[in-house]
Structure 1
């Protein structure tokens, strides 16, 4: 199956599923998409195999990254408010406040390209290494990788080496929300 999907032949070896320090290794969204294309399966069918339950779909609001920086789109906790947005259908997630955000710019290439849609959960806990959406109190909204989060600062990584990593005082940050999924 790995060869048929254009992946490394050792992709499904048990020895490749755990990192040397004992943490589980998860496939990338791109690898899963290739496997689904090679098998002709849908994301819903794949997810139901993992959970044993058929995945219900729900509609989530789709907000443009530039639009997200405008006032009135989010409340103080990072939950979308209002109506009138486009919407996308997505397998149900546990966060009733989840929303879709369309990426603009190239600071997260190769993971997220201009026009890529990410599903964001304002209620999901964030950890070092998570890809996140951050809104500054001044209004700027950005998608980055969380390098470090302390009581005083937040450090963010741009995956594209042409963009510098960023650091902000926590009091300059309105909210941080975890990216759960991305289209490719």
Structure 2
């Protein structure tokens, strides 16, 4: 077992849930810098192990079993959702501000039209996956200007997941799911300066999960 295998497994669990390593640390109740690259080696350059306590908290925060984590450590394919570090795919890409404009999505929320750009990002199993580029500071501190988000229309959505949703008025929002019932969706703003959102389910045109972010 190597240090890099443990860290790769942690990065994998984070990416599958649309989180950076620091975002995973926050979800696990740890200091956001716990999994930073600077914490993965000592001052003299020797590789450092993550603590068993931090690994335990990560498993709890991601609902992963010890067996699943061990399989990632041993070299199992990264990301059950289909994301692999070595696999790069050309994904259709627009900015988040463009996503609110007509002509980029069909009625089900899949990318359509000829005005999409393309970018090379980690592959995902969803054939309808697309990328959104963050512009401006409206999603800070979670996502910053220039970050890329991979969005999967087919990925299941659970409480705590980050999503891109479009309402029937054409507004596009990036939010974190707090509660979801047959009638309403409660979603938290990623920017604490902006209000949280409650929407009637019927008012949502489509809602897709963020499965990866470049940060």
Give the C-alpha shift of residue 134 in structure 1: 0.5
TM-score, normalised by the number of residues in structure 1: 0.76
Aligned residues: 164
**Matched residues in 1 for 2:139 and 2:85: separation?**
32
**Matched residues in 2 for 1:167 and 1:181: separation?**
24
Residues 1-184 of structure 1 aligned to structure 2 (within 5 Å) = 5-7=37-39, 12-19=50-57, 22-24=60-62, 49-51=75-77, 55-184=86-215
Q: 1:12 to 1:163 in 2, by over 3 A?
A: same
**Matched residues in 2 for 1:135 and 1:182: separation?**
19
DSSP 3-state at the match of 1:111: coil
Give the C-alpha shift of residue 54 in structure 1: 7.6
Query: Root-mean-square deviation (CA), in Å?
Result: 3.1
Whether contact under 8 Å (1:59, 1:90) holds in the other structure is yes
Give the C-alpha shift of residue 6 in structure 1: 1.5
**Matched residues in 1 for 2:39 and 2:173: separation?**
31
Gaps of 5+ in 2: 4-33, 43-47, 65-71, 79-83
Gaps of 5+ in 1: 27-45
Higher helix share: 2
Q: 1:70 to 1:91 in 2, by over 3 A?
A: same
Give the C-alpha shift of residue 72 in structure 1: 2.1
**Matched residues in 2 for 1:159 and 1:137: separation?**
21
Whether contact under 8 Å (1:133, 1:141) holds in the other structure is yes
Number of the residue aligned with 1:43:
none
